Amino acid sequence: MTTTIIGYPHIGRHLELKSAVEAYHKQTISASELNRVAAQTRQQSWQTQAQAGIDWLPVNDFSYEDQLLDTAVLFNVIPQRFRQLHFSPLDTYFAMACGTQANTTFLSPLKMATWFNTHYGYFIPELEDPTTIQLVGTKPFDEFKEAQQLGYHARPTIIGPYTLLKLSRITSTKKITDYVNRLVTAYAQLFDRFDQLNADWLQLDEPALVLAPTKADLELFNQIYTTLLPQKGRLKILLQTAYGDVREAYSQLTQLNFDGLGLDFIDGQQTEACIQDKGFPDNKVLFAGIINGRNVWRTNYQTSLDLLHRLPVKHVVLSTSCSLLHLPISLANEPALPKTVRPYLAFAEEKLTDLVAINNLLAGRNPEFLTANQRLFNHSRGAENVQVTTRLHALTKVDYHRRPERKKRQRRQQQAIPLPVLPMTTIGSFPQTAADKQRVTAFKQGQLTKAQFQNATHKRLQECLTEQTKLGLDVLVTGEYSRDDMISYFDHQLSGFLFTKHAWIQTFGTYCAQPPIIWGDIAWTHPITVTETVAAQRLTTRPVKGVLTGPLTLVNWAYPREDVSLRISATQIALALQDEAHALEEHNIHIIQFDEPAFRSHLPLRQSDWYTNYFNWAIAVIRLVASHLQPTTRFHIHMCYQQYTDILDVLDQLDADALSLSATDPALLDALHNAHFATPVGLGMFDTAQFKVPTKAVMVAKLQAAIAQLGPTRIWVNPDCGLKLLDEPGALTGLARMVQATKQVRNTI
Ligand code: MET
Ligand SMILES: [Zn+2]
């Protein structure tokens, strides 16, 4: 059988591409030098794939910033404000991704959104009134020629017209269907060019098909492809999907004149069922996505072989479930990972060997590979923690129901720690100076002892407490000066996580991150935030709030285990955080906040699966952290940068004593009112990602609007998120105005 992949990471084994792009932005290298590095990373990727034994290589999966942006630019989907810069094509492209200084003002980049249910962010193309869709670039052709010249069997890939349209934002008066004709013409030209270049196949990525297309969506898809496919000439077209199954579109896909269909057997829960129930046409090739392209574990060869044997399909090409973009490049970059761990892991490069191994096994070659692989799955990895699993099994209903009910405990909370109406607080972090950041790095790298670090951090904590008292806030925080980031700070102190040193993945543009790997059962081993929170409490008579990162955010931001469900790992983390919360309580901290900025990031792509596949357990996990808190302890949740109005019922079920949300717009207030939302809400009085602080009058108006909808007794006052990204004067101005506005409104109640 033939082996191929959907796409490969091109950021460079040692982030060469990222460094080159940054150097180009700093003007320390030229455009041609940048191009040279880009060509080198492409060639390195192809060489790796070919050496691993992959038969057929994708090209044009390379991108400086993002493939959807590349596709938009190729078809001239460039907003006027960027055209008017009159930059070179390359600089216009970078301006769209990074923003640019235009005369005296900064022109912001295109807005971003989450790429399906991954941690990758894409730039949202904008279709304006004056946009004239046409083929204007040569990138895919140039890269195809490059690969051809090197003698590779290459398959050009590009995002398809349906996904391009569905993921774009239409800012004009036109309808989505008004763009179809020109788009089809432009793609037909692309077909033509590839035909002239002697490409045999073209891969059109249409992952938007997994987003539960409606009838109108399917009609749009049909309209596009019934006009486009007759123009393919000799070229064969692979319709590639990823990140889920295409249950709504499956029949249509089998009927249209595609030559190949790429389907995801990993995240596509119903992919196999579609094929078994409806059949797969003999005149098409199935590109079977059997290798998980987005998680870091070795493939279970036997499972893959069983699946392949079950499939009633004549022509199969072995492939990945999605592009390998979501994986670090190679385990070879991680020499420090223990020997006991390495055989279980597979980054992009190791996924290639899995693919080739499965192909060899299918052909009856190298049976010893199967034996070795089975050993990985048939024996314990030694990642179990019996105490944790016993505790998990012992959980019963009472562990998910906090007593007494909210109304009663709120009375007791108010008696224990009385707070004024419209209590004012912050979300946790305060602005960090360069010295603050350096201190954390120095400590992490071992250049500071724990005592040195704690002493220096304590000074900052004292200053921060003084500042908060001066401002007149009601509930104070530590300022989070000891945290590098809210996720790794906790992961590193819980047992069960595995960390890498160089295993970078692209999160958006050339920004990279290193998600931890959930290796085993997760447990709390020692207090994490207690010393610092208690130190803060000693400095003030006002209550100090303990701030912890929530279980869903911790589990959602890591590479999950495949031997147990996400629900189990999340429950384990919740139990660990429950221990931390109890430790805080024992030290007289009676307001505890859990941050859940990634609450929605594992939400299934189909709304019909939201409860069954996620909320049913996600709600329980959050309730678990608080179920055994004393009634007098206030349990807060903070969420930010997400949509709330479509999940208000879920948010109310979390049974928090207060929930701070980053939005305060009239639509949200209306929705809260209409839903009879019962949880007290914290309102974001100013946007912590913006440099501009609203005036006191604006904040007063916001508060009044909120009181009109929710009444005065269920509102907390706070910024919309942590203050970490703001500069100190900006943050202090914002807080001072917030306090003044609140005091003014309090007088009118
Ligand atoms: C992205 S949510 C951030 C919450 C965190 N406690 C902070 O204040 O920075
Ligand atoms: Zn936040």
Dmax (CA) for the chain in angstroms is 82
- How many angstroms separate the alpha carbon of residue 7 from the centre of ligand 1? 34
Give the integer Cα–Cα distance in Å for 330 and 48: 10
Give the integer Cα–Cα distance in Å for 451 and 215: 63
pLDDT in tens, 599-615: 998 899 999 999 999 99
Pairing between β-strand 517-524 and β-strand 201-205 as defined by DSSP bridges: unpaired
Q: Is 216 left (phi over 0), alpha (psi -120 to 50) or beta?
A: alpha
Give the integer Cα–Cα distance in Å for 93 and 507: 18
- How many angstroms separate the alpha carbon of residue 524 from the centre of ligand 1? 21
Q: What pLDDT does 692 receive? A: 83
What does the pLDDT average to over 128-151?
Answer: 96
Cβ 595 under 6 angstroms from ligand 1: yes
Contact between 741 and 696 (Cβ < 8 Å)? yes
Closest among 281, 352, 272 to 314, alpha carbons compared:
281
Distances (CA, A) of 348 to 5, 10, 128, 372, 530: 10, 11, 38, 20, 40
- In a 3-state reduction of DSSP, which class is residue 24? helix
pLDDT in tens, 326-380: 999 999 999 999 999 999 999 999 999 999 999 999 999 999 999 999 999 998 8
Give the integer Cα–Cα distance in Å for 319 and 264: 9
What does the pLDDT average to over 146-167?
Answer: 98
Cα of first residue to Cα of last residue in the chain, in angstroms, is: 75
For residue 564, give every residue at least 6 positions away whose Cβ sits within 8 Å of its Cβ, in sequence order, or none.
Answer: none
Give the integer Cα–Cα distance in Å for 556 and 243: 16
pLDDT in tens, 231-282: 999 999 999 999 999 999 999 999 999 999 999 999 999 999 999 999 999 9
The secondary structure of residue 694, as a DSSP letter, is: P
- How many angstroms separate the alpha carbon of residue 721 from the centre of ligand 2? 4
Q: Which protein residue's CA is at the shortest distance from atom 3 of ligand 1? A: 722
What does the pLDDT average to over 716-726?
Answer: 95
pLDDT in tens, 202-233: 999 999 999 999 999 999 999 999 999 999 99
What does the pLDDT average to over 55-63?
Answer: 97
Contact between 272 and 310 (Cβ < 8 Å)? yes
Give the integer Cα–Cα distance in Å for 654 and 633: 15
Contact between 339 and 303 (Cβ < 8 Å)? no
Q: What pLDDT does 662 receive? A: 84
Give the integer Cα–Cα distance in Å for 531 and 516: 25
The secondary structure of residue 298, as a DSSP letter, is: P
Of the pLDDT bands very low, low, confident and very high (cuts 50, 70, 90), residue 664 is confident
Mean pLDDT of the chain: 96
What does the pLDDT average to over 558-574?
Answer: 97
Give the integer Cα–Cα distance in Å for 507 and 608: 28
Mutate to test the pocket of ligand 1, among 427, 475, 485 (most ligand atoms within 8 A of CB): 427
- In a 3-state reduction of DSSP, which class is residue 490? helix
Structure token digits, residue 104 = 């005296």
Give the integer Cα–Cα distance in Å for 130 and 16: 37
Contact between 141 and 193 (Cβ < 8 Å)? yes
Mutate to test the pocket of ligand 1, among 425, 426, 429 (most ligand atoms within 8 A of CB): 429
Q: What pLDDT does 407 receive? A: 96
The ligand with the least distance to the CA atom of 640 is: 2
Cβ 431 under 6 angstroms from ligand 1: no
The answer to whether residue 690 scores a pLDDT higher than 80 is no
Cβ 547 under 6 angstroms from ligand 1: yes
Share of the chain above pLDDT 90, in %: 95
The answer to whether residue 194 scores a pLDDT higher than 90 is yes
Q: Where are the alpha helices (DSSP H) in 539-663?
A: 551-556, 566-586, 610, 616-626, 648-653
Q: Which protein residue's CA is at the shortest distance from atom 2 of ligand 1? A: 597
Cβ 428 under 6 angstroms from ligand 1: yes
Q: What pLDDT does 187 receive? A: 98
Residues linked to residue 613 through DSSP beta bridges, in sequence order: none
Give the integer Cα–Cα distance in Å for 315 and 635: 57
Structure token digits, residue 398 = 């009472």
In which residue are the tokens 């209409």 written?
Answer: 674
What does the pLDDT average to over 115-144?
Answer: 95
Structure token digits, residue 282 = 């003999």
Closest among 683, 663, 680, 657 to 593, alpha carbons compared:
657
- How many angstroms separate the alpha carbon of residue 693 from the centre of ligand 1? 18
Pairing between β-strand 517-524 and β-strand 494-498 as defined by DSSP bridges: antiparallel
- In a 3-state reduction of DSSP, which class is residue 679? coil
Statement: the pTM of the whole predicted model exceeds 0.90: yes
Cβ 427 under 6 angstroms from ligand 1: yes
Q: What pLDDT does 487 receive? A: 94
Cβ 719 under 6 angstroms from ligand 1: no
For residue 647, give every residue at least 6 positions away whose Cβ sits within 8 Å of its Cβ, in sequence order, or none.
Answer: 600, 615
- 3-state percent helix, strand, coil for the chain, nearest multiple of 5: 45, 15, 40
The ligand with the least distance to the CA atom of 545 is: 1
The amino acid at residue 338 is P
Residues linked to residue 154 through DSSP beta bridges, in sequence order: 57
Q: What pLDDT does 256 receive? A: 98
The ligand with the least distance to the CA atom of 660 is: 2
Closest among 494, 526, 499 to 515, alpha carbons compared:
499
Contact between 289 and 320 (Cβ < 8 Å)? yes
Question: Which atom of ligand 1 is closest in space to residue 429's alpha carbon?
Answer: 8
> What is the CB neighbour count within 10 angstroms for residue 172?
13
The amino acid at residue 694 is P
Structure token digits, residue 643 = 């949509």
- How many angstroms separate the alpha carbon of residue 703 from the centre of ligand 2? 20
The protein residues having their C-beta less than 5 angstroms from ligand 2 (an ion) are 597, 640, 721
- How many angstroms separate the alpha carbon of residue 718 from the centre of ligand 2? 11
Q: What pLDDT does 536 receive? A: 98
- How many angstroms separate the alpha carbon of residue 81 from the centre of ligand 1? 33
Mutate to test the pocket of ligand 1, among 595, 599, 659, 688 (most ligand atoms within 8 A of CB): 595
Of the pLDDT bands very low, low, confident and very high (cuts 50, 70, 90), residue 105 is confident
Give the integer Cα–Cα distance in Å for 162 and 165: 5
- In a 3-state reduction of DSSP, which class is residue 632? coil
- How many angstroms separate the alpha carbon of residue 704 from the centre of ligand 1? 26
DSSP H/E element including 651: helix 648-653
- How many angstroms separate the alpha carbon of residue 610 from the centre of ligand 2? 23
- How many angstroms separate the alpha carbon of residue 428 from the centre of ligand 1? 6
Cβ 731 under 6 angstroms from ligand 1: no
> What is the CB neighbour count within 10 angstroms for residue 49?
24
For residue 8, give every residue at least 6 positions away whose Cβ sits within 8 Å of its Cβ, in sequence order, or none.
Answer: 45, 48, 49, 58, 61, 323, 324, 325, 348
Q: What pLDDT does 689 receive? A: 83
Q: Which protein residue's CA is at the shortest distance from atom 6 of ligand 1? A: 428
696-710 vs 666-674: helix crossing angle, rounded to 10: 20
Of the pLDDT bands very low, low, confident and very high (cuts 50, 70, 90), residue 130 is confident
Cα 445 to chain center, whole Å?
A: 27
Distances (CA, A) of 447 to 213, 376, 439: 54, 39, 9
Q: What pLDDT does 552 receive? A: 98
Pairing between β-strand 715-718 and β-strand 201-205 as defined by DSSP bridges: unpaired
Q: Which protein residue's CA is at the shortest distance from atom 9 of ligand 1? A: 722
Share of the chain above pLDDT 70, in %: 100
